[in-house]
Homo-oligomer: A and B are copies of this chain.
Amino acid sequence: MLLPSGKTSFREVVEHAPAVCILAENGHGEILFVRQHRYPVKRAVLELPAGVVEPGENPLETAHRELREEVGMDARSMKEIIRFYTSPGFCDEEIILFLARDLFPSPLEGDDDETIRVESWNREALVKGLENREFQDGKTLMALYWYLLKGEEILS
């Protein structure tokens, strides 16, 4: 590649399909999480529901599908909050973060290689969990900070 400086450099780029992440608030002021083993980091990680945009889908459709597959709920309200690159220095993965509200049960059979446990956390537990570093996933931390920062005015 040719850099603006005129010098050349070799870069290894990881190509990754876009993905969605869903901050789903149930009617009781709780946020829904999934806890699952993540092979690359060799541990169970507590994360917001998320998944890759499949061919033929738009991100909004992916958000509805992943929420149904991972926590068995769909949302009457699904609103884009922000989109961002996870690691723009070596990877083109973009994540679209959605806020899901007005949930209702609507389970959908998910990928059979994912063993997932669903958890719901209220605001007080979230604040305590952040202090105790119980969240290790970047997109999840970002969404929680956003939620605590903007939540009251936006979710009221």
The 3 closest A-B pairs by CB, nearest first: A145-B145, A142-B142, A38-B88
Q: List 27 A-B contacts (CB under 8 A).
A: A4-B115, A7-B113, A11-B39, A13-B40, A14-B91, A16-B90, A38-B85, A38-B88, A40-B92, A41-B85, A41-B88, A42-B92, A45-B85, A82-B141, A83-B133, A84-B135, A84-B138, A85-B136, A85-B138, A86-B86, A86-B87, A87-B87, A87-B91, A138-B139, A138-B142, A145-B146, A149-B149
| A37 within 8 Å of B (CB atoms) | yes
| A125 within 8 Å of B (CB atoms) | no
8 A Cβ contacts from A1-30 to B: 1, 3-5, 7, 9, 11, 13-14, 16
Contacts of A7 in B (CB 8 A): 112-113
Expressed in whole angstroms, the minimum distance between the Cβ of A78 and any Cβ of chain B is 18
Number of this chain's copies in the assembly equals 2
Known A-B contacts A39-B13, A138-B138, A149-B149; A93 and B84 likewise in contact (beta carbons under 8 Å): no
| A56 within 8 Å of B (CB atoms) | no
Known A-B contacts A39-B13, A40-B14; A141 and B142 likewise in contact (beta carbons under 8 Å): yes
* Chain A positions 83 through 105: 1 when the CB is less than 8 Å from some CB of chain B, otherwise 0: 11111111111110000000000
